[in-house]
Chains A and B, each alone.
Chain A
Amino acid sequence: MKKFTLSATVAASLALFAGAATAQVTDALVVEGTTISTSAPAADWLDIDQVLSGWSFRTVETRALQMDDFDNPGMIFVDQAIDDWSTVDGTEGKSCSSCHTDGPEEFAGLRAELPRWDEAQGKMMNMEDYINLSRVEHMGAEPWKWAKPRMDAMVALISLQSRGMTINVAIDGPVADAWEQGREIYYTRVGQLDMSCANCHEDNYGNMIRADHLSQGQINGFPTYRLKNAKLNSTHARFSGCMKNIRAEPFAVGSEEFRALELYVASRGNGLSAEGPSVRN
Chain B
Amino acid sequence: MKNSMLLAVCASVATFATVAVGEVGPNDVVFTDTGAVEGSLTGVAGDPANGAMVFKNRKKGNCLACHQNSDMSDQQFHGEIGPSLDGAGANWNEAELRGLLTNSKNTFDGTMMPAFYVDSGFFRVMGKFDGRTNLTAQEVEDVLAYVQTLTE
Contact = CB atoms under 8 A, between A and B. Distances in A.
Interface of A: 188-195, 199, 203-204, 207-211, 243-244, 247-249
B126 A210 contact: no
A208 B126 contact: no
B65 interface: yes
B116 to A, nearest CB: 10
A247 B129 contact: yes
A247 B125 contact: yes
Nearest to B68: A208
A202 to B, nearest CB: 11
Contacts of A192: 114, 122, 125-126, 129-130, 132, 134
Given A192-B114, A199-B112, A209 B126 contact: no
Chain B interface size, as a band, is: 20 to 34
Contacts of A207: 79-81
B123 interface: yes
B108 interface: no
B64 interface: yes
A203 B82 CA distance: 12
Interface of B: 58, 62, 64-66, 76-81, 112, 114-115, 122-127, 129-130, 132, 134
Contact of A190 (B58, B64, B124, B127): B124
Nearest to A211: B77
B101 to A, nearest CB: 14
Given A192-B129, A193-B134, A195-B112, A249 B124 contact: yes
26 contacts: A188-B123, A189-B122, A190-B124, A191-B129, A192-B122, A192-B125, A192-B126, A192-B129, A192-B130, A194-B115, A195-B112, A204-B81, A208-B78, A209-B66, A210-B64, A210-B65, A210-B66, A210-B78, A210-B79, A211-B76, A211-B77, A243-B124, A247-B126, A248-B126, A249-B124, A249-B125
Nearest to A203: B112
A207 B114 CA distance: 17
Nearest to A206: B80
B114 to A, nearest CB: 5
Which one of A189, A190, A209 has the greatest number of beta carbons of chain B within 10 Å?
A209
Contacts of B122: 189-192, 194
B28 to A, nearest CB: 20
Contacts of A243: 124
A243 B115 CA distance: 17
B115 to A, nearest CB: 7
A195 B81 CA distance: 13
